[in-house]
Amino acid sequence: MTEERIGFIGLGNMGGRMTACILRAGKEVLGYDAKTENIGAVGATAAPSSGAVIEGSDVVLLSLPDSRVVEAVVFGEDGLLAHAHAGQVVVDLSTSAPESTRRIRARFVQKGVEYLDAGISGGAAAADKGQLTLMVGGDEAALDSVRGVLGYFATNVFFVGSTGAGHTTKLLNNFLNAVALSATAEVMVAAKKAGLDLETVLEVFNKSSGVNFATINRFPKIIKGDYLKGGLTNTLMMKDVTLYVDLLSQLGVASLNSPGPLASFGLARALGYADEISNTVVDAIGDISGGIRLHDGATEGGKA
């Protein structure tokens, strides 16, 4: 059997890391990115357009900022639909609106192309190690056909349901992440201002009912000035929370807990942290709480 040809569109922060994992496995990747330097930086073979990627690939992976960009890449004059042919599989690894995902999939099916929506979790650190978690919606047989490709950068691949289920699950997960990060940031600023030892406070939380992903994986680094540069920016986190609120509105579910992260990441953007990693939300809260920092001296990824 001929080995599958792999294409990747969007070789930025996360896409570049996933592409690097595929390349390290000894596979070739035909890549396209609006910033051509991203293609060379990771070592993929450059394609002149997104259409050229799907023309030369059996499996095409997308890692793009939002549904608007995904739709432009899919429906554009030189986009994926214009050049797709029966038997291909497109996997959207972006954080997209499920309603948009369903519209796109319907168009691909007309051409005999399978379209999977695959939310990702784990951040830059897991992407570097090839240990991401994927939550995939669409046709299960299509997922089974590309598990080998996804396995180059993901250790956990879950089938979560029909088209849109992957991106829906991703929005739910990202909202919990946003709540944990913004709430823990507020609490840690309070702990600092109260004169508590932050390492001890985190140890208490991680042995108690306040434990969460941020207390375990983020703040032990942040209190030492390491913001874990490379993950979602405050702008992208705000985008994900807004998509979550839109989703709940469509579902008719009350979103009672969204004001906290909306206010926190909105504050971070307003205070100049828009393009900084979302962990700097703690600095934004510190700014309006008397100039509080959890660490001393210069930082990586944050502001001193």
Q: Are 8 and 31 in contact (CB under 8 A)?
A: yes
Distance of alpha carbon 194 from alpha carbon 197, whole angstroms: 9
- 1 within domain boundaries: no
Burial 19-44 (b: 16+ CB within 10 A, else e): bbbbbeeebebbbbbeeeebbeebeb
Same domain, 259 and 113: no
Q: What is the pLDDT of residue 123?
A: 86
HSE of 183, CA atoms in CB hemisphere, 13 A: 17
- 294 within domain boundaries: no
Same domain, 24 and 126: yes
The total number of structural domains in the chain stands at 2
**Model confidence pTM above 0.75:** yes
Same domain, 236 and 129: no
Q: What is the pLDDT of residue 299?
A: 43
Residue 124 has pLDDT above 90, yes or no: no
Q: Is position 170 annotated as part of the catalytic site?
A: yes
In the set 27, 35, 111, 170, the catalytic residue is 170
Residue 164 has pLDDT above 60, yes or no: yes
Give the range of the structural domain holding residue 198, as residue numbers without chain letter.
168-287
Q: What is the pLDDT of residue 19?
A: 98
Looking up residue 259, the CATH number of its domain turns out to be 1.10.1040.10
- Inter-CA distances, 132 with 124, 135, 212, 284, Å: 9, 10, 18, 29
Same domain, 154 and 176: no
DSSP bridge partners of 99 = none
Mean of pLDDT values over 173-188: 97
Same domain, 12 and 125: yes
Mean pLDDT of the chain: 95
Same domain, 102 and 17: yes
Tokens of 39: 């293609």
* Percent of the chain's residues with pLDDT above 70: 97
